[in-house]
Structure 1
Amino acid sequence: MIYNSTALLVLGQDDDIAIARRDIAQGEHLDEIDGASRAPIPFGHKVALRPLAQGQPVRKYGQTIGIAKADILPGDHVHTHNMGMTDVTLHHEYSVDAREPDYVAPEAVRSFMGYKRASGRVGTRNYVAIISSVNCSATVCRAVAEHFKDREIMRRYPNVDGVVAFIHGSGCSSNGYAEGYSYLTRTLTGYARNPNVGAALFIGLGCETNQVTLMLEEHAMQTGARICQMSTQGIGGTRKTIEAAIAAVEDLLGVANEDRRSPQPLSELVVALQCGGSDAYSGISANPALGYASDLLVRHGATAILSETPEIYGAEHLLTRRAADAGIAEALLARIDWWKHYTSRNNAELDNNPSHGNKEGGLTTILEKSLGAVAKGGTSRLNAVYEFAQPVTAHGLVFMDTPGNDPVAVTGQVAGGANLVCFTTGRGSTSGFKPAPCIKIASNTPMYERMSDDIDINCGDIVSGDETISEAGARIFELVVRIASGEHTKSEDFGYGDNEFVPWVVGAVM
C-alpha cells in the first residue's frame, strides 16, 4: 500500500485503480485524481485513477486484473459494467524468489499443548470419528453420533472433544480404479489418520463399490484398539448396527480418553490456509496478515497448506518464482492445466468466479481475486505440491490441488493432515471443520462488528491505517498457538463442523 487517504487506498504506483475506504458519493472531490467521482463508489469497490481506453489492461497490485470493456475516465466506478476478464499470458520463472526460511533458533522455537499420537504426529483436538464408506450407511453413522450428543454420556470422557460422523453422498456406482474413487478413499482414510482423531469407526452397508476392508488394505491401515469397522448387512440391519456401533464407540471413547495434552513444538502444526466469502479488502488486509502469520509458523518449522487451484489462477506465476525447484513449479502448472481441461470438458471456465457475494464486495474477475488470495501464502518458499487429500509430509509452505469451494477444499486439507484451519473472509462465514478448529479472520471492521459472534479476529484496522500487516499477522500467530493448545474458536462454541465434510466428487456416477 503506497497511499492511504480518508477516501481511497492506492496499492501500487503503477495501479490504474484505487479502493474506496468508505462509500463515496457521486461528485465528491478526490485528491488522488484532482477531480470528482463520476459515480457512487461503494465501500471496497474500485475507482479509476487515470483514463483507460477500451481494450486496455487494468492494473491492481501492479498486476493485470482485467481489461476495460469501454472507455474509462478518472473518477469512474470500475466493476463488471466496464471491466471484464482477459486472457493473460504469464511468464513463469522458476525458483528465482525461493529462499531458505529464516528459521528461529532451536531454543526459541515455540510450543503448544497437543496430543502426541503413536504415528508421531500431533493433534490439536481429540475426536472419535464415525466414517461412512458409502451414502447408504450415512443414516446409521448419524444416528450413532447423535447418541453421543448427550452431555451426561460425554462427561465420562472429559479428554475427548466429541464424537462426529463424517458422511457423504458417494461410495458406489463409480469406477473403483478412477480418479474420483482415489480422492474418496484418500479422504476417508485421511480423516481417520488425522492427528485430531483419537479413534475411528468405519461403517459400510456391505455391497458398495467402496469396500471398507479393501480401502483399509489399500491405504495400509489396520484395525485394532483405535480403528474398527462393521457393515449393516453383515450385522443384520439398521437397529442392530446402531446398537453395535454405539457399543464400539463406547470402547473407542475409553481408549481416546486416555490421551493427554503435552508440550509439543510448533513444527507439528499443519495449518490449512483458506479464504471464503472474500471481498476487495481480503487481499489487502486479512490475506496478507495471514500470510505474515504463515511465514512466522514456517520459521518455527510448521507446515502451511495453500489450496483452491481455481483461486490462484492468474497468480500462479508468483508461486512458481518461489518454488524450491523446477519440479515443484512444473507440478503446480500441471494442476492448472488439469483445471483448464476439467472446466472445458464440463462446459465451464475458470472465470466462473468470483461469486455474486464476491462481486458485491468489490471483486470483479478471478485475476483480481487470485492475486489477493495467494497472499495467504506469505513469502515463504514453496516446498511441495499435492493432489487432493494426499498425505502432506513436507514442512514449510505447500500447495494442495482443490476446488475453490470452501468445504471441499478444507476437506482435502484436513484429509492431508491439517490439524488447524485459518479462514479469512470479507463477507462473513459461519463454517466449522471438525476435527480441525477453524479461526475466522475478518478483512473489514463493519462485517466484523455485524458478525463478531462468529469471527475470531479482525484485520479491519489495516484498512483504517491503525494497524500494520505485521502487527495483525503477529496477533493471528499468537491466536493460532492458543487455539492449538485448546482454546475454543467461535465456530467451536456454536458446535459447527458436523456438516462441512464434503469429499470432492470427480468422474462418472453410473
Structure 2
Amino acid sequence: MTDRMVVLLHDDDNVAVTLRAVEEGEHVDVGGHRVRVLTNVPAGHKIATRDIAGGAQVTKYRQAIGMALCDIAAGEHVHVHNVGMPEHREHGRPMDDSPRPVRADARSDTFMGFVRPGGQVGTRNYIGVIASVNCSASVCHAIADAFKGDAMAAFGNVDGVVAITHQSGCAMPSAGDGIALLRRTLTGYARNPNFAGVLLVGLGCEVNQVGALAELLAPLDACPTRMLVIQDEGGVRETISRGVAIVQELLDVANRATRTVVPAARLKLGLQCGGSDGYSGMTANPVLGVAVDLLVRHGGTAILSETPEIYGAEHLLTARAASSDVAERLLEKLRWWERYAAAGGGELNNNPSPGNKAGGITTILEKSLGAVSKGGSSALKAVYDYADAVRECGLVFMDTPGYDPVSATGQIAGGANLICFTTGRGSVFGSKPVPTIKVATTTSLFERMRSDMDFNSGPIVDGSLSVEEAGAQLFRLMLSVASGQKTCSEVNGMGDREFVPWLQGAVM
C-alpha cells in the first residue's frame, strides 16, 4: 500500500499521506494506480488519490475527516484551502449494550515501584511543596530551591523536592464549582503515590485555606502532610526557614522508602498528545494504543483525555463502551463542550492549532481520529470528571481540556503515576512528580530533538517496524521508566512549572 513517497491508510480512502515533500509534475503510486501530482504537497500532508466532488466527504482512516469545499482533482494538495467541516453532525451512539470482553494476559510483567502505606504504588519518590494560593507560590519555590543539587546528596532514594504552584486560590467564590475543582486538583496531587510527603503553604487570608485542604486529605489515607501559613509564621523569611526544616524531616522519612517488585497492573498511565502532525495518527498514536492494550491485559489502567480532541471520533469510543451509561456519559461531556465553546463565541473546530495545520492536520475530525487511537482497542470502562480519583482498571476517560498541561494536571490529580506523550512537531513537556515519556512520530523529529524524545516510532513509516512491534517496545520502555529509568524531560530538568489546573468560574 505504500511506496517511498505516499501511504494510503485504507483502500476506501480518497486521500493519501506524503512521506516526503512531492512537487508538481511528479508521479506517485497510490493503491495500485499512478497519480500525477498537480500541486506541491509538503511532507505529512494529504494528496487526493482520485477526483473528489465539491460537497463530498474527504476520507482518511476509512472515516470522514471533512467535506470538499470545491471540486478536488486527483493529485491535488488536500488541506484547509479546499476542505472544511460539515455544517451539521450528530454524535455517535453505541452499537449495543453488551459488555466488551478484556483478554487477560497469561503472564504478569512487573516493575520496581514504591509501595505506599495506603496500597498505591509510586514510580517516583518526591516531596511536594504545594501552594494553596498564588500569594504563597514564591515561598513554595524558595523552599523547594533549597534542595537543589548537593542538598539532596544524603537522600539517595528521593527524586527531589518540587513546588506545586498556580495562579488562583483567591478572588473567587468560597463555595461552588470553581473552588471545588481547584481543591480536588490540589488534594489529588497531594495524594498522588509519587509523593512521599507534602507541605501545604498558604498566605493566611485567601479563600482557599490550607486548613480546608488538610481536612479533605485527612480521611484519604494520604502521605504525611504538614502545613504552614505565612502570616502566622511572621512573614516570608520565617516561613521559608520553617519550611526548609519541615521538608528536611519529610526527606528523612521518604529516604527510607525503597523500590520493590510490583505487577504492571499497578501502573496508571495518562495518555497525552501535543504538537501533532500528519503522521501522529499513523505512527505514534497507534503505537501507544498497542502499548495501552498490553497494559490493560496486564490489569493496568490507561486514562484517555482531552475531550475537545475526541470530537468527531467519539463513535469509536462509544461503540466499545462497557455499557450504554458509560457511552451516554461521554456524549454528555461532548455536548457540554459544545455549549461551553459556543458561549465564548467559539467552536470546537478552532482546534487544530496553527502548528498542527502546518504539520498536515486539516480539521478537528482528522486530529480526533488520530488522537483516539492512543486508547487502543480495549473496552471503555468509565468516564471521570476532571481530577477525580481514577479507581476503575482498564481504559477510562477523564474529561479535560485539550491543552496538554491542564489535561495532564487532571490525570496526575486522578492518580496517574506515568504519562506517555506523543508528538509530531516536538513537545518538551515534563510533569513532576510524574515522569513523561515522549514518543516522536518520525525519525527526523527524533533525530532533530534527540535530547527531548524518548521513543522513535518513525521506523513504521519506512516499513522497518510494525505498529505492533513498536507498541511492544514502548510497553517495555514504560516498565523501565516506571522502575526508575529517567526520561529526557527529567534529565533536562523539565516539569517544575507544568502544574496548570483547570480554572473555572468568575475571578473577582
Q: What TM-score comes out, normalization by structure 1 length? A: 0.97
Equivalent residue number for residue 93 of structure 1: 94
Equivalent residue number for residue 42 of structure 1: 42
Equivalent residue number for residue 371 of structure 1: 369
Selected match of 1:328 from 317, 326, 329: 326
Distance 1:143 1:223 in 2: 28
Amino acid of the structure 2 residue aligned with 1:58: V
Distance 1:129 1:219 in 2: 14
The change in CA–CA distance for 1:463 and 1:329 in structure 2 (over 3 A counts) is same
Equivalent residue number for residue 498 of structure 1: 496
Per-residue deviation, 1:34: 2.6
Amino acid of the structure 2 residue aligned with 1:48: A
Per-residue deviation, 1:56: 1.4
Amino acid of the structure 2 residue aligned with 1:205: L
Per-residue deviation, 1:89: 2.6
Deviations 1:218-275 (A, max 9, x none): 3545899810111101111111111111111111111111111000111110000110
Distance 2:311 2:218 in 1: 35
TM alignment of 1:284-303, pairs within 5 A: 284-303=282-301
The change in CA–CA distance for 1:331 and 1:223 in structure 2 (over 3 A counts) is closer
Amino acid of the structure 1 residue aligned with 2:151: I
Distance 2:215 2:310 in 1: 35
Equivalent residue number for residue 64 of structure 2: 64
Selected match of 1:195 from 177, 193, 196: 193
1:399 partner SS: strand
Equivalent residue number for residue 273 of structure 1: 271
Equivalent residue number for residue 178 of structure 2: 180
1:202 partner SS: strand
Amino acid of the structure 2 residue aligned with 1:164: V
Equivalent residue number for residue 471 of structure 1: 469
The change in CA–CA distance for 1:358 and 1:222 in structure 2 (over 3 A counts) is closer
Distance 2:78 2:461 in 1: 20
Equivalent residue number for residue 443 of structure 1: 441
CA contact (8 A) 2:54 2:69 kept: yes
Equivalent residue number for residue 6 of structure 1: 4
Deviations 1:395-436 (A, max 9, x none): 000000001100100000000000001000001111110011
Distance 1:66 1:52 in 2: 12
The change in CA–CA distance for 1:71 and 1:222 in structure 2 (over 3 A counts) is closer
CA contact (8 A) 1:309 1:403 kept: yes
Equivalent residue number for residue 136 of structure 1: 135
Equivalent residue number for residue 122 of structure 1: 121
Equivalent residue number for residue 160 of structure 1: 158
TM alignment of 1:359-438, pairs within 5 A: 359-438=357-436
Selected match of 2:208 from 201, 207, 210: 210
Distance 1:17 1:35 in 2: 12
Deviations 1:134-162 (A, max 9, x none): 0000010011111111x222011111000
Equivalent residue number for residue 103 of structure 1: 104
Per-residue deviation, 1:50: 1.4
CA contact (8 A) 1:103 1:299 kept: yes
Distance 1:467 1:475 in 2: 10
Per-residue deviation, 1:96: 6.2
Q: Which moved more, 1:378-387 or 1:209-218?
A: 209-218
CA contact (8 A) 2:438 2:452 kept: yes
Per-residue deviation, 1:445: 1.1
Deviations 1:182-225 (A, max 9, x none): 22111111111000000000000111111111123235458998
TM alignment of 1:17-36, pairs within 5 A: 17-32=15-30, 34-36=34-36
Distance 1:229 1:175 in 2: 23
Distance 1:231 1:219 in 2: 17
The change in CA–CA distance for 1:502 and 1:232 in structure 2 (over 3 A counts) is same
Equivalent residue number for residue 169 of structure 2: 171
Amino acid of the structure 1 residue aligned with 2:129: I
Distance 2:239 2:449 in 1: 41
Deviations 1:40-68 (A, max 9, x none): 11100000011112221111111110111
CA contact (8 A) 1:95 1:323 kept: no
Q: What TM-score comes out, normalization by structure 2 length? A: 0.97
Deviations 1:426-463 (A, max 9, x none): 01111110011111101111111101111011001111
Distance 1:439 1:223 in 2: 29
CA contact (8 A) 1:97 1:322 kept: no
Distance 1:30 1:224 in 2: 60
CA contact (8 A) 1:440 1:456 kept: yes
Tell me, yes or no, if structure 1 residue 340 matches structure 2 residue 341: no
CA contact (8 A) 2:92 2:314 kept: no
Distance 1:382 1:410 in 2: 19
Structure 1 segments unaligned to the other structure (5+ residues): none
CA contact (8 A) 1:216 1:222 kept: no
Amino acid of the structure 1 residue aligned with 2:140: C
The change in CA–CA distance for 1:428 and 1:95 in structure 2 (over 3 A counts) is farther
Percent of aligned pairs sharing the same letter:
53
Equivalent residue number for residue 231 of structure 2: 233
2:348 partner SS: coil
CA contact (8 A) 2:172 2:507 kept: yes
Per-residue deviation, 1:489: 0.6
Amino acid of the structure 2 residue aligned with 1:111: T
1:282 partner SS: coil
1:4 partner SS: coil
CA contact (8 A) 1:382 1:397 kept: yes
CA contact (8 A) 2:416 2:434 kept: yes
Distance 1:478 1:341 in 2: 41
Structure 2 segments unaligned to the other structure (5+ residues): none
The change in CA–CA distance for 1:221 and 1:144 in structure 2 (over 3 A counts) is farther
Amino acid of the structure 1 residue aligned with 2:429: S
CA contact (8 A) 1:96 1:322 kept: no
Question: How big is the alpha-carbon RMSD for the aligned residues of Structure 1 and Structure 2?
Answer: 1.4
Equivalent residue number for residue 489 of structure 1: 487
Distance 1:142 1:429 in 2: 24
Equivalent residue number for residue 352 of structure 1: 350
The change in CA–CA distance for 1:382 and 1:95 in structure 2 (over 3 A counts) is farther
| Number of residue equivalences | 505
